[in-house]
Amino acid sequence: MGARVTQVDRRTRGLLTLAALAVAFAAVDTYVVVLALPDMMASTGIGVQELQRAAPIVSGFLLGYVAMLPLIGRVSDLRGPVPVLTASLIAFVIGSVVTAAAYDLTSMVVGRFLQGVGGGGLVPATMSLVAALYPVERRGLPLGLVSAVQEFGAVIGPLFGAAVLTVTTWRGIFAINAAVGLLLYVAIRLFPREAATSAESPGDRRQPERVPRGVPDILGAALLLIAVVAAGLTVNPPTALYTDLTWGELYVPVTDGGGRWLQPVGLIAIVAFVLFWVRCVMAQRPLLDVRAWGRTLDEADGRGSALLCIALAGIVLAFATADPEVSVFSPQGPWFLTGSAVAAVSLVFHVRQAPDPILPRGVLAARAAWGGLVVSLLVGWALIAALVDIPLFARTAEESYDQLDAALVLLRFLVALPIGAVIGGYLVRRLDAGVVTAIGMAAAAASFAWMSTWDRGSLDSALHGWVPLALGGLGFGLALAPVNAAVLASTRDDSHGLASALVVVARMVGMLVGISVLTTWGLSRLYAERDADPSLGLRDLGMLQEQAVFQGAAAVAALAAALALVLFRGAPTRGTRWTPPAG
């Protein structure tokens, strides 16, 4: 028996390793677009001077990543983390293929949205997997490792993008994404069933359905193949086919002025894809069990999920499409936020009335549970200042620095971050989560306060140019695992997927709000100093702006440290007994 337990334990650890690799690879994709964006813009006819028109390429990814996360987390609680992992990988692969084949802005944004849905879904599923595989007192280190590989993507992403762009175009980046995502999907699907079964969510109490044995759905596979091939021929028509007198008829739109999808080959792709979905609903052994997933989405509270998605989408669009040099949020921001507020109020009434809402009543009642979301929001608020403004300061203060030099300065911070995440996961097994989080965020606050004193030449100093960056990276890393551990330990076992998703959502919302508010605050300082001393040059004013941003980030990080001590007090992260609140 002992040998068998050890064997299963090894298998579950292997499963978690694959999940962590998937999270890391999706994180790489989050940062790789920074280098590829100019080429992606050129492919859609957008000039480099029209950066605002390219905002949907970024905001589309964020929309899928943030708005859909709570629904994905809830589905993870209902079906277990492993099915959500595989489904998220498929969404990520499809999104990568669509992005790689994109020929206009619309198709590119659709692909990025699907990538966001898939990449975002991997995080709560993996966190839920940790909670299912490890008892409370042993979760700290694996949570730290998962956080570390997620943040390590920030280090690898730009390097990976630069390496790929030296040998191929930006499309090669997303083609590699699709190939690796598919390999990870196959590896997880082929994993021994015992490992996946041991990781099933406690909230999934349904009896397993009997799947008819026999040959897989050949007709469904044929329809899917036709749809994919026809779509590929529509997006990238071969010259020999396109110019042929006979086959070229496939590329003549059926209506005057019609687009690519109104060409016969495009219509074949659409019809085959629709028939494939119909087949998935009708077949006894479909390639994709649409009926089972439909029932799961219904159990996940479709109406409540839609309201929550709308509420989060409004926040994302209001801030992600903003130009911080003009205002905190975009010109349409008030309308987006109004829609978000209406959806949020409707959600509150819905949760109070629905028998089984997407946000189960009492799931965040514990102080450490809702407090974890507050602290996570503040962590994201401060973190974005480091990711954006450290390289900006480098380019502003040092005339000889180019984009690569600025990225290497940020790398000093990023390398320390995953190291801090592992240390934080280790410490939370021995210290209170609030103490570890407070230490980390206090270090981050001290780091920002130090950065606010930077001047010309500071980055070339071993003391001033390296120590605050390493200190800040370690500090933020220390705080990641304790926040997740506190929330998971203070929520019910059947809500870990949802709770993990909300932690990620809170941090992403904090980053979106933080970049707008802190940049606007820095600009106000710039304008005030310019009015007080008109002799200041643009470089001096730019440094003053970044210094103000660092000061604001230091205050936010210090607030996060103080709140963590109060809100995480008594969180049972070290295996103490805890009873969930009634309700």
Give the tokens for residue 219. Answer: 């007709």
pLDDT at 326: 59
Cβ–Cβ < 8 Å for 494, 131: no
Which residue has tokens 């809702």? 370
Same domain, 21 and 83: yes
User: CA dihedral in degrees (530, 534, 540, 541; nearest 10)?
Assistant: 20
Query: What is the model's pLDDT at position 199?
Result: 54
d(CA 514, CA 557): 12
236 plus 194 within the same structural domain: no
Same-domain pairing of 250 and 171 = no
Could you tell me if residue 189 is inside a domain?
yes
- Judgement on whether residues 165 and 252 belong to the same structural domain of the protein: no
Same domain, 184 and 223: no
State residue 448's pLDDT score.
96
For residue 211, what is the DSSP state?
P
Q: How far apart are CA 514 and CA 521, in angstroms?
A: 10
Domain contains 184? yes
Residue 333 belongs to a domain:
no
Residues 135 and 244 reside in one and the same domain: no
Cα gap 123→418, rounded to integer Å: 16
For residues 195 and 222, state if they share a domain.
no
Residue 298 within a domain: no
In this structure, the answer to whether residues 177 and 244 fall within a common structural domain is no
The domain of 268 spans: 218-286
**pLDDT for residue 435:** 93
Hunting for tokens 């190939």 — which residue is that?
A: 179
Shortest CA distance to 201 belongs to which of 118, 302, 92, 299?
A: 299
In this prediction, residue 437 carries a pLDDT of 95
Distance CA 574, CA 433 (A): 9
**Residue at 87 is within a domain:** yes
Percent helix / strand / coil, the chain, rounded to 5: 75, 0, 25
**Tell me, what CATH number does 562's domain have?**
1.20.1250.20
The 10s digit of each residue's pLDDT in 391-406 is 888 888 887 777 777 7
Shared domain for 368 and 511, answered yes or no, is: yes
The predicted structure's pLDDT at residue 104: 81
pLDDT of residue 506: 93
Neighbours of 356 (CB within 10 A): 11
In a domain, 232, yes or no: yes
The string of DSSP codes covering 73-133 is HHHHHHH-HHHHHHHHHHHHHHHHHHHHT--SHHHHHHHHHHHHHHHHHHHHHHHHHHHHH
Shared domain for 479 and 544, answered yes or no, is yes
Q: Does 40 fall in a domain? A: yes
Q: Is the pTM of this model over 0.85?
A: no
Count of domains for the chain: 3
Phi, psi of 579 (to 5 degrees): -115, 125
The helix or strand, by DSSP H or E, that contains position 398, with its residue range, turns out to be: none
Same-domain status, 368 and 250: no
Of 141, 173, 201, the one marking the end of a domain is: 201
| Phi-psi map region of 532: left, alpha, beta (phi>0 left; psi -120 to 50 alpha) | alpha
Residues lower than pLDDT 50 in the chain: 1-8, 201-213, 576-583
Element (H or E) spanning 203, and its range? none
Of 286, 318, 344, the one marking the end of a domain is: 286
Q: Are residues 177 and 71 in the same domain?
A: yes
DSSP 363: T
Closest by Cα among 514, 513, 486, 484 to 501: 484
Residue 570 within a domain:
yes
What is the pLDDT, as a whole number, of residue 50? 65
At which of 286, 301, 336 does a domain end? 286
